[in-house]
Amino acid sequence: MTLMIKNNVIDADNAARLADLKADYDYLGAQLSRRGIDIGAIKEKVSTYGVAVPSWGVGTGGTRFARFPGTGEPRNIFDKIEDCSVIQQLTRATPTVSLHIPWDKVDDLSELKEKGSALSLGFDAMNSNTFSDAPDQAHSYKFGSLSHADAATRRQAVDHNLECIEIGKVLGSKALTVWVGDGSNFPGQSNFTRSFERYLESMKAIYRGLPDDWRIFTEHKMFEPAFYSTVVQDWGTNYLIAQELGPKAYCLVDLGHHAPNVNIEMIVARLIQFKKLGGFHFNDSKYGDDDLDTGSIDPYRLFLVFNELVDAETRIAEGFSPAHMLDQSHNVTDPIESLMNSAMEVSRAYAQALLVDRKALEGYQDSNDALMATETLKSAFRTHVEPILAMARFEAGGAIAPVAAYRASGYRAKVSSERPASKSGGGGIV
């Protein structure tokens, strides 16, 4: 196995922290024991939890105004998965990478597959791109892709998605995520019904090319790049798509793709109930979109989403197997550090949700004790679970303090000396 960070760097950083961690873990274990919770069982569950890293996340993001690249930016998918393996090596919470085509297209897929194996990384959902024009493509997506008024443009977009499936088959992926930028900027610019009919027709053609053991995820987004309407704007439309397509079609919830204050955890519950929750793109936002690090603005909302997931997991909800992925834009931080912290934030939300006393909660709900019901959630959320996460990482060979170990490793300086500086400029948001 290829290790991007030397084990002795991790060992040295861990050695300085281990005694404190053990003390904190034991103390938390005693506290949880008084609440009837076995800390070891929680740690076991947390240690099996994984979230996929998006290949595009390890590059510096940008806005439509500018992009300010960092140093040592990955030049291609091989550099990208090396960066992804650093995240996995230190956090032990990100065993898979989600690719984006055509950005990650390579001539030799077996070379990429071998590189993934050498780094002990698997390949998660494939992501297609019909929201921007690839060089030399015949038809432009300026006015849409899968819902475009022109049949040849729609066909090109369908074929691209089918190509993503073929690439994914070689790499061992089992899912295709489709997000389109299709929509309109002005009232009257496009006919809502006809656009959606064309979109569904295109999606059905993609669905027909989906292998039996694959799933297809559609991702809704309220606005942007279209600023008046988007064809797949909300979870209702997303649910209709999944219903129209069939049993292999599921809805993907990107936390940032909703209006402010939308009750996302309730959307999650509805999709679970009707067996159409496909998975997540985790991130956070203050005003709109999906740009900020997971849990950086509203960790309580992230916890409430995981509360629904653990509720479904506990009662073994039928057809419940959501895919988890990060999807965020790192404009001012080292992307590796942001992704490590974000992976730990989702693990934290999961651990906190596991602490909810579900029997007590149900009792408070049935007896209309609103105060104690909400306090039951709050007491789980307020529990400082870091010792559980850190111990799980340590026992799996990762770092007790991933960001500190990463900084001590000098990885960024090393790749900065090997990889030429990338260009700044506009765009780059995904």
Residues of the shown chain interacting with Mn ion in the complex, contacts defined by CB under 5 A: 254, 281, 327
Nearer to Mn ion, 124 or 327 (CB): 327
Strand partners, 292: 284
Nearer to Mn ion, 83 or 327 (CB): 327
Q: Which single residue brings its beta carbon nearest to Mn ion?
A: 281
Least separation in angstroms between CB 228 and Mn ion = 21
Nearer to Mn ion, 82 or 254 (CB): 254
C-alpha 412/C-alpha 404 separation (Å) is: 13
Least separation in angstroms between CB 146 and Mn ion = 16
Nearer to Mn ion, 42 or 253 (CB): 253
Query: CA torsion 115→337→68→252, rounded to 10°?
Result: 70
Least separation in angstroms between CB 299 and Mn ion = 19
Nearer to Mn ion, 177 or 383 (CB): 177
Least separation in angstroms between CB 281 and Mn ion = 4
Contact (CB, 8 A) for 81 and 106: no
Least separation in angstroms between CB 179 and Mn ion = 6
What is the Cα 170 distance to its own chain's centre?
22
171 is written with which tokens?
Answer: 């790499």
Least separation in angstroms between CB 297 and Mn ion = 17
**DSSP alpha helix (H) spans, 222-366:** 235-245, 264-273, 299-314, 335-354, 358-366
**DSSP alpha helix (H) spans, 274-334:** 299-314
C-alpha 67/C-alpha 57 separation (Å) is: 14
Nearer to Mn ion, 260 or 420 (CB): 260
C-alpha 234/C-alpha 335 separation (Å) is: 29
